[in-house]
């Protein structure tokens, strides 16, 4: 009857709409990486984080294992403290892991790369990554380069 | 809401000194109308005199600027929403255009008031609807859509819908206007039949003199917001008032002048010549 | 000179009066909403005419807009060597803006104007007074179900628009332009946030749903009971909805995305 058809059509419509929403949530967004219970926190201090932003990825060997959850300024030492949200799947990072801020491509955004060391003890929730390397700030490196080039020339002339 | 017993318990509707203004214009200017129970009363008058306004006042759709409107002892303008709705369930109305719901079948249109206001089981509802449709002779048309009905049929369905809840009163707004003679005859017959068989009180608003005179028990002639005359059709036919005679007999000229006010004819024509 | 002032003043007063009527109308609708939710059948019937019948238009539009975004995005990003980011560009554009806004505008044109015409016609044929005469509240029976149907349908339609748009972008980017499928999807998934982007987009489309349906139903209710009145009312629906949606979009975007 007419009414049944209408009701079925509306049901299908609602299902399609919800399916679209679910698809957007699962396939298009970062839902899987976001579910809160799935991660533990690590800290790292940097003198300069450059362009690193909250939600920037944390990679090990190029594989995303988490994201930057928070960036705080330590008001006593004026260092930047980066809080990372790491997925629980990767809970065996050695204590001597080093954290560096890299740039993806030449003009890309900045991300946090972790390089695991060889220590048998692992980092736990809330602990700090001790070895860090700050962001690549173009002006500083150029300045260093020019300075070293100048002194290099002088040295080779002697 | 207890219905107060007024002295004239044989008048279902009483309008006293009703004034209705739209802006500065008084559409109704001191009207007194009595609608007797169980009878067919017709309100007649030239177009635009506010006949439909009277119906709307009775139904509580609009409020009078002054005066009282009583239906079955209840003071209509003073009723709150709930009481008004309760009263309206006991009144049926047939609109000029039928006003059927265009997205429902004939059956569903008539069933509408029953579905909305009663919790009758489906088979009982079906029987009631079919009975109402049978009364107006359209039981076989129950599955048609309003767009498939002729004007006359649509009005008959509207009548069936108006009696669906077995009201105490029905109001007909221009039921004969623009219909072919057969349909007019059918509707006339139905109005009289329903009124007598169901013990209804009927109020008709119309300006179709012949038809209305044939079936009405009482007539009210209104003009310029006032009641000019009232009485049975026979009494009115003998009325000495000139205007009443002109109206009832459909004369082209009389107290309601044929000519729109204009300057003197001869002068008007000559004025064009003289301006040379 | 004073005549001009008088006209402006009169026009403004009319505008304000209409605004007030419109809000009172909305309040009356909201007041009966609980009872409509209880008896859902009326609303379901409306969702058919409002949602299901709009689906075709929305789906096709979403797909094509997504494909166009893919092409245009590629043309721009390739200059920066950033074609890999096409996925996120398309997805973010759709989910944050294009989806909710375009769906609302298309809705106004198709479903909104149909609602206005339907209700306006009911007014012309005296169906609304007839209903009131039968002691049935047209707000409960006619207006609120349609309103609810629009409010529910809009986010669903916007989601369909965005989802198909993303697929359209995939078709163009991966299928036609040869971007690596894995890179496309993973970049997109990395940069589209479920809360900040998707949820905000859904909230936007819900707000638009309320506004667009409200305007459509009110314009029908307020139309003059003549054929000309109805035709003017349908035009007003589309125009007013467009203004309202675009203005609200700016406000919502500033609120939601301004802080990022």
pLDDT in tens, C20-75: 888 989 988 888 888 877 777 778 888 888 888 888 899 999 999 999 999 999 88
Residues on chain A touching C80 (C-beta within 8 angstroms): 107
Q: What are the distances in angstroms from CA C29 to CA B180, C142, C210? A: 42, 10, 12
The encoded tokens of residue B206 equal: 């119309």
Q: Which chains touch A (3 or more CB pairs under 8 A)?
A: C
SS3 B223: strand
Q: Which chains touch B (3 or more CB pairs under 8 A)?
A: C
The encoded tokens of residue B92 equal: 């049926």
Banded model confidence at residue B6, pLDDT cuts 50, 70, 90: very low
Rounded CA gap, C187 and C88, in Å? 6
DSSP letter at C63? H
Rounded CA gap, C224 and C234, in Å? 12
Q: Of A96-110, B171-185, C104-118, which one has max mean pLDDT? A: C104-118
The encoded tokens of residue B260 equal: 């729109």
Q: What are the distances in angstroms from CA C32 to CA A113, C13, C47, C147, C255? A: 57, 29, 18, 11, 31
Please, are residues B84 and B60 in contact by the beta-carbon 8 Å criterion?
A: yes
Rounded CA gap, C149 and C242, in Å? 19
Please name the member of B85, B95, B117 whose beta carbon is closest to the beta carbon of C130.
B95
Q: In chain A, where do the E strands start and end?
A: 39-46, 57-60, 63-73, 80-87, 98-103, 110-115, 128-129, 131-133
Averaged pLDDT score across all residues of chain B: 83
Strands B218-223 and B40-44: parallel
- Its ipTM equals 0.72
Rounded CA gap, B206 and B51, in Å? 8
Residue A37 is predicted with a pLDDT of 59
Edge to edge, the sheet with strand B25-36 lists: B25-36, B11-22, B66-71, B74-75
Chain-centre distance for alpha carbon B19: 19
Query: So where are chain A's domains?
Result: 1-32, 40-144
Residue B95 is predicted with a pLDDT of 85
Residues in contact with C233: Cβ distance below 8 Å, sequence separation at least 6, in sequence order: C116, C117, C120, C219, C220, C222, C223, C224
Q: Hey, are the CB atoms on B99 and C126 less than 8 Å from each other?
A: yes
SS3 B256: coil
Q: Hey, are the CB atoms on B95 and C122 less than 8 Å from each other?
A: no
Residues on chain C touching B99 (C-beta within 8 angstroms): 125-127, 129-130
Residue B30 pLDDT exceeds 90:
no
Residue C62 is predicted with a pLDDT of 94
Rounded CA gap, B178 and B154, in Å? 13
Q: Which residue of chain B comes nearest to C121, CA vs CA?
A: B102
Rounded CA gap, C22 and C28, in Å? 10
The 3-state DSSP composition of chain B as helix, strand, coil percent (nearest 5) reads: 40, 25, 35
Q: Between these two residues, A33 and C168, which has the higher pLDDT value?
A: C168
- Distance (Å) from the C-alpha of residue B88 to the closest C-alpha of chain C? 6
Gyration radius of chain C over CA positions: 21
pLDDT digits (tens, 9 = 90+) for C135-173: 888 888 889 889 999 999 999 999 999 999 999 999 998
Integer distance in angstroms from the first to the last C-alpha of chain C? Answer: 49
Q: Which residue has the tokens 């119906």?
A: B55
- Is B116 part of the contact surface with chain C (CB cutoff 8 Å)? yes
The torsion angles phi and psi of A44, rounded to 5 degrees, stand at -155, 145
Residues in contact with B188: Cβ distance below 8 Å, sequence separation at least 6, in sequence order: B176, B211, B214, B215
- Is C185 part of the contact surface with chain A (CB cutoff 8 Å)? yes
- The angle at the Cα of C146, spanning C140 to C149, to the nearest 5 degrees, equals 120
Averaged pLDDT score across all residues of chain C: 88
SS3 A17: helix
pLDDT digits (tens, 9 = 90+) for C194-222: 777 888 889 999 999 999 999 999 999 98
Please, are residues C219 and C114 in contact by the beta-carbon 8 Å criterion?
A: no
Q: What are the distances in angstroms from CA B18 to CA A27, B14, B77, B107? A: 71, 10, 11, 39
- Which residues share a beta bridge with A85? A41, A67
Rounded CA gap, C57 and C60, in Å? 5
User: DSSP alpha helices (H): ranges in A29-107?
Assistant: 31-34
The torsion angles phi and psi of A133, rounded to 5 degrees, stand at -130, 130
Q: What are the distances in angstroms from CA A47 to CA A137, B136, B272, C121? A: 11, 93, 103, 71
């Amino acid at each position: 009857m007419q009414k049944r058809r209408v009701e079925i059509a509306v049901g299908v419509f609602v299902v399609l709409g919800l399916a679209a929403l679910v698809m957007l949530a699962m396939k298009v967004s970062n839902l899987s990486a976001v579910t809160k219970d799935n991660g533990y926190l690590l800290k790292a201090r940097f003198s300069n984080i450059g362009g690193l932003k909250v939600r920037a990825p944390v990679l090990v060997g190029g594989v995303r294992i988490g994201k930057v959850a928070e960036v705080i300024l330590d008001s006593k030492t004026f260092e930047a403290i980066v809080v990372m949200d790491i997925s629980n799947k990767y809970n065996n990072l050695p204590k001597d892991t080093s954290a560096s801020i890299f740039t993806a491509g030449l003009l890309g955004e900045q991300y946090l790369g972790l390089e695991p060391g060889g220590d048998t003890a692992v980092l736990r929730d809330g602990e700090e990554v001790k070895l860090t390397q700050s962001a690549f700030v173009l002006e500083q490196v150029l300045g260093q380069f020019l300075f070293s080039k100048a002194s290099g020339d002088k040295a080779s002339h002697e | 809401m207890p219905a107060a017993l007024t002295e004239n318990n044989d008048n279902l509707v009483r309008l006293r000194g009703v004034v209705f203004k739209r802006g500065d214009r008084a559409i109704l200017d001191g009207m007194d109308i009595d609608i007797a129970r169980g009878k067919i009363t017709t309100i007649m008058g030239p177009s635009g005199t506010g006949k439909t306004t009277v119906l709307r006042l009775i139904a509580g759709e609009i409020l009078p600027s002054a005066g009282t409107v009583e239906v079955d002892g209840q003071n209509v303008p003073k009723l709150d929403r709930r009481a008004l709705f309760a009263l309206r369930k006991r009144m049926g109305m047939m609109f000029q255009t039928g006003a059927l719901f265009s997205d429902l079948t004939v059956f569903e249109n008539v069933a509408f008031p029953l579905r909305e206001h009663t919790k009758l089981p489906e088979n009982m509802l079906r029987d009631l609807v079919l009975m109402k449709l049978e009364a107006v002779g359209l039981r076989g048309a129950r599955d048609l859509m309003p767009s498939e009905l002729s004007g006359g049929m649509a009005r008959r369905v509207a009548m069936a819908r108006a009696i669906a809840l077995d009201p105490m009163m029905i109001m007909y707004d221009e039921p004969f206007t623009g219909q072919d003679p057969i349909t007019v005859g059918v509707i006339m017959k139905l109005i009289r039949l329903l009124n007598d068989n169901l013990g209804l009180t009927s109020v008709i608003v119309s300006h179709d003199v012949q038809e209305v005179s044939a079936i009405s028990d009482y007539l009210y002639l209104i003009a310029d917001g006032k009641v000019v005359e009232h009485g049975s059709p026979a009494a009115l036919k003998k009325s000495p008032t000139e205007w009443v005679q002109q109206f009832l007999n459909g004369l082209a000229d009389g107290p309601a002048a044929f000519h729109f006010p204009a300057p003197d004819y001869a002068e008007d024509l000559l004025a064009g010549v003289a301006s040379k | 000179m004073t005549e001009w002032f008088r006209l402006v003043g009169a026009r403004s007063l009319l505008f304000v009066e209409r605004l007030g009527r419109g809000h009172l109308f909305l309040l009356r609708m909201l007041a009966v909403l609980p009872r409509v939710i209880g008896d859902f059948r009326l609303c379901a019937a409306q969702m058919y005419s409002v949602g299901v019948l709009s689906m075709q238009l929305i789906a096709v539009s979403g797909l094509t807009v997504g494909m166009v975004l893919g092409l245009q995005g590629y043309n721009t990003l390739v200059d920066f060597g950033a074609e890999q980011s096409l996925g996120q560009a398309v997805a973010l554009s759709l989910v944050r803006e294009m989806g909710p806004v375009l769906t609302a505008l298309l809705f106004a044109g198709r479903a909104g104007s149909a609602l206005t015409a339907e209700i306006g016609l009911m007014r012309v044929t005296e169906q609304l007074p007839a209903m009131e005469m039968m002691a049935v509240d047209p707000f409960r029976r006619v207006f609120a179900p349609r309103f609810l149907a629009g409010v529910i349908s809009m986010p669903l339609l916007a989601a369909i628009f965005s989802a198909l748009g993303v697929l359209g972008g995939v078709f163009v980017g991966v299928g036609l332009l040869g971007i690596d499928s894995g890179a496309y999807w993973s970049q997109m998934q990395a940069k589209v946030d479920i809360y900040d982007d998707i949820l905000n987009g859904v909230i936007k489309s819900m707000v638009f749903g309320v506004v667009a349906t409200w305007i459509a139903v009110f314009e029908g209710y307020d139309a003059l009971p003549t054929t000309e009145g109805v035709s003017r009312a349908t035009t007003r629906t589309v125009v007013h909805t467009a203004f309202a949606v675009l203005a609200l979009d700016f406000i919502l975007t500033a609120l939601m995305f301004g802080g990022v």
